[in-house]
Structure formats: C-alpha cells, structure tokens
Amino acid sequence: MDQQQQQSAIQGAKVLMVGAGGIGCELLKTLALSGFHDIHIIDMDTIEVSNLNRQFLFRRSHVGQSKAKVARDAVLRFRPHINIRSYHANVKNPEFDVDFFKQFDVVLNGLDNLDARRHVNRLCLAADVPLVESGTTGFLGQVTVHVKGKTECYECQTKPTPKTYPVCTITSTPTKFVHCIVWAKELLFAKLFGDKNQDNDLNVRANKAASASKETEDVFERAEDEDIEQYSRKIYDHVFGYNIEAALSNEETWKNRRRPRPIYSKDVLPESLTQKNGSTQNCSAASDDDSATVSAMPLLGLKNPQELWGLTQNSLVFIEALKLFFAKRKKEIGHLTFDKDDQLAVEFVTAAANIRAESFGIPLHSLFEAKGIAGNIVHAVATTNAIVAGLIVIEAIKVLKKDADKYRMTYCLEHPSRKMLLMPVEPFEPNPSCYVCSKTPLVLEINTQKSKLRDLVDKIVKAKLGMNLPLIMHGASLLYEVGDDLDDIMVANYNANLEKSLSELPSPVINGSILTVEDLQQELSCKINVKHREEFDEEKEPEGMVLSGWTQSPATNGESASTSNNESAVDVTESSSGPEIASKKRKLSETQPENHKRETENVESEDDDDLVEIENPMTVSKKKRVA
C-alpha cells in the first residue's frame, strides 16, 4: 500500500527544477526515470564546450543552445510520454512570481550563485512550497530540505561572502600568489584592455623615471605609430620596474617586510623578440573570429599548462600575449573583462602574476594553477553530481509523502567519516533570529546625518538583504521604490531622495526611526531599527554602517577582510574555516576535524554550474545526527 501511495504521489506531483547544469542534467534524468510525469525547468544559460565532460545530456552539436531546452529534448527521447516544460530565462524574471511558484508541489534547486538561491528561497516561503536545496564542490556535496515553519530556511544560517583585500595590499604589499592574481586580473588586465577611463593605482611612477618619460596619465596609451614591441616593453618596465621603485621609496613600508625587486625587460629579455619568435602580425594561432582561442603559448613552444614557467618564460608570454591582443583582437580593447575561458587572457594574467610574484619573493604557479585561482575554480566531479541528484529525488519523495520525520540533510564526503561517505543529519529548526522566515527586526547603526539613502539602498538593502525591487517606507512616507509602473515625477523624486542624507529626507530618518523594507516580487518584508552613530572604525567597519541580525562571515586565516574607508576593495573567494553557531537551539559542536572544512558559497565549479555551501557535518550536534 505504501508503495502504491508513493507511486501515486510521484506521478501526480508537479515539480519545478531551477538549474539545468551539472546537477540539473543528472536530476532531470533521475526524476524522469523515477516516474515523475510533470517537470518544469528554468535555466538562463547556454551550453559551452567545457560543459560536455559531465553534463551528459548535451553534445557538441548543442553548443550555444539553451540548456533547459536541450535537456528537455534529450530526456523526452527516452521518456516521450511525460510532460517537461523548459524556460530559457532567469528565475528572477517577473513572470516567475509567487503565483507561479504556488502551482508546484516541490521546488528543486541546482543553482550556481547565492543571489539566485536566496531569491528562490524567499519565493518558496511566500508560496509555502517546500524547497530541496543542493550543491557540489569537487568530491563534496550536500542536499538540504527547507519546509516553511518546520525546518530552517536557506537563509537561517549566514552564508560566507567573498573575501576582500584592501587595494593597498594588492598594489603595494602582496604576500600571497592570490594577491598577484587579483592585481593582474582586476587592475592590470582591466587597465590595459578594459575601460581606459577607470581609476587605479597603476599609473604611479618613480620620480627618476617620470622626468625621462611621457606624462604619467599617458603611459597606458599606445600612439598610432608606436611599435607594438616597444609599447609592450614600456608597459612591462612601468608595472614591474618603475612602480616597484616607487613603492621602495617609502622606507617605512619595508621596515618589517621583505623588499621587492624591480624587474626590467632589458634584464630578462633579448633586445628584440621579433627575430627570435617570429612576427605576431603573421601568426596563425587563431583567426579573428575565434578570439577566445588565440594563444601565445604555441608561438613560444609552450605546450603543457601544468609546467612551471620561469621568469624569462613568463616575461615572453607577457609580451607576446599583449602583442596578440593588439594584433588579433584590437577591436575588443576597451571593452574586455577577464574571462577564465579566454585562453589569451588567462595566459596574460598568469604571466603578469608570476612576474609580480617573482619580484615580491612569492612562489610561482603554473598556468593550470593560476587559472584555477583567477576563476575561483573547483573542478567538478560528475559522480558527485549524480549522487547529489539521487539524494535530491529521495528527499523530494519524502516531501511529497509529507514524511517530515524522515527529512534529512545529507552530506557527501571526500573521505570516510565513521565508515560513511554519506552523512545524513536531521534538519535544523527555524532560526528565531532569521529576518527572512522569522521576521525578526534588524538593527542598523549608521550616521544618519552623513550617510545618504543611496548608501542604505546599495550597501544594505541590495547587497546584504538581497532585495531586487526594494521599497522603503518610514511610517506612512514612501522614501524609495523601484518598478516599471512609476511615472516620471515619482522616479525623479525617488532619485532625488537617493542623494539626500537620511536626516534630510522628506520624512527624516533619525535615531530611533523604524524603516519598513519590502521586496514585492519576493513578497518579503522586514523592519530595520535605526540607531544613529557618529563614528566608525575605518579598518573594521569600512562601510560606515553596521547591520545586526545579518552578519557576514568573518575573515579567515588571520587575514583581514576589511578595507580602509578611503579605498576600494577587491573580492577574492577562498575557503572559510567553519560554520557559524546560529543559536542555542541549533547548537553545533565545539570541534571540527581538519579534513572536513566548510567551503564558501561563492567557490566556482569548473564552469559556473555547480556551487555549494558545504557545511561540516561533523560539527552538527550528536543529537541531531542520524545513526
């Protein structure tokens, strides 16, 4: 009888899948083979060549096509009588509102980013539809069940955010290879090939060099008749030579630090590279139409991406890559951003990072390693995706049977723990201090006289609370709203409010004020109690405001994640050292084995498909663990 009830529940269920990537392909296949008859899939991505090694519903002929549509067509070939509807769209689009979600019996997530996960979580709460969340990182994986009022929601536990490093560390005092990667990717690559008008610290030049060269602001500009090799060497000497000399002129900085070594092209490279390596203009590494595969490595006889290049090889790659950008991809210059799938960009960033690392006495890395760091890559494992997809279906069936006592959070481990590779754990209760599912008021400490409404919207409402279409009210006064149905006068008024300090708004926000912040699309509303505060620690509180009730994960490895108030910061993703303790009712154990560390939400898998917040199952209270 139980088997008949289960089969009836499966066949009569209407299921929404969000994501058709590594997990999604395995999940759709498993759902179809398990007897599900009505499946809807949302995915905004198209298929790339790099997907084909583990997303087995796709073939090379599908490259460039919608993942959701191709996955649907592939499964219908062996299950032609079931209903599968695909949506090539962003799950945050307005048509996927609460009413859309209400039509489903369960929602299954296979998403790749924190923002979309939070959005789906809120819609599921508003629609009162159970959510099964999942993710993988290499050999690690997890599946969690979120049912309104019975288990914690996805946001009951704080999620680690990308680590940020002060720009002064990146530009002046790097100590890790990741600092060199960020410098090469976010500053140098962006300055050379991105928006030329952006400000950064790369134009600094030593005083001695300044008198014998062009104006500082012109150093990255290439004259029409300037020889490409001469220009490439000029850039090389500027960033690896003159800028290092400028940094060394500040003796105070190097009292307790290792002094870097200026590196000039004449000390590393022959006078002319053209005769040695051939003309870049005549190279046939790739056609202009295949710009993503243009490569400097074949020109230099370099074949193995896992080979460790020395200073000379890195310098040659740097010069040749820069020359190739101007010879083969000149039309793109000024609009480029770093892409880990752009071979030439990866070569350039690897070489630049290694030359800088050599200057600062930091160990060099291979192109393969550098690409992983630059793209925040954890290489995906197809087997893990398949295991996690199976676990999702198991939990979905429990949800459909309303078998709440058997819900489990299941962790997929890389190494056996207590002779288990799959660790099931009872779900946590809802966190009473969660502002999403428990409606607990937040407290915002802010200087109401100096901080503008724009600061509140950008830094708190959007960045921290994850609201896409926010509405902000103070009492009966509407201070800010976003929407397509606003007339020009309303838009102008709200834009004017953005530039006013909180205390200057039509309904002044001062100490003791209570703000109501809503997102009508997510049907989420929360209260923010405002507490005026005059001063903030520039080092520890760089945003000039502190939100309580929403706390980002602390910096790890002893590295400060803050920046000073007068400089920007650069995001870097690294693994966090452990989960936070959310409340006494959801107590986690005091200890944590070194080999089961929690990974961050923002670690990318091989190509943006399968991301996960891996919690350490060994930190869960023994009372919560299933034997």
152 closest CA partner among 614, 564, 519, 586:
586
Helix axes 343-359, 311-328, angle to 10 degrees: 140
The CA-atom distances, in angstroms, between 10 and each of 38, 39, 144, 370, 399 are 9, 11, 19, 46, 10
Tokens, residue 460: 């708190």
547 annotated ligand-binding residue: no
Given a contact cutoff of 8 angstroms between Cβ atoms, the answer to whether 506 and 477 are in contact is yes
d(CA 408, CA 420): 15
434 annotated ligand-binding residue: yes
Catalytic residue check, 124: no
153 annotated ligand-binding residue: yes
544 annotated ligand-binding residue: no
- DSSP β-bridge partners for residue 532: 446
372 annotated ligand-binding residue: no
3-class state of residue 593 by DSSP: coil
19 annotated ligand-binding residue: yes
512 annotated ligand-binding residue: no
20 annotated ligand-binding residue: yes
3-class state of residue 592 by DSSP: coil
201 annotated ligand-binding residue: no
476 annotated ligand-binding residue: no
Residue of 25, 168, 180, 526 marked catalytic: 168
23 annotated ligand-binding residue: yes
Given a contact cutoff of 8 angstroms between Cβ atoms, the answer to whether 273 and 229 are in contact is yes
Given a contact cutoff of 8 angstroms between Cβ atoms, the answer to whether 357 and 373 are in contact is no
64 annotated ligand-binding residue: no
124 annotated ligand-binding residue: no
Side by side, which strands form the sheet with 131-137? 83-87, 38-42, 14-18, 106-109, 131-137, 140-146, 409-417, 420-425
Rounded to 5°, angle at Cα 495 from 490 and 498: 130
487 annotated ligand-binding residue: no
113 annotated ligand-binding residue: yes
Given a contact cutoff of 8 angstroms between Cβ atoms, the answer to whether 421 and 468 are in contact is no
52 annotated ligand-binding residue: yes
526 annotated ligand-binding residue: no
How far is residue 498 CA from its own chain's centroid?
A: 27
Q: Report, as residue numbers or ranges, the catalytic residues.
A: 168
Mark the binding-site residues for ATP, compressed into ranges: 19-24, 43, 51-54, 67, 112-117
Residue list for the binding site for Zn(2+): 153, 156, 434, 437
Binding residues: 19-24, 43, 51-54, 67, 112-117, 153, 156, 434, 437
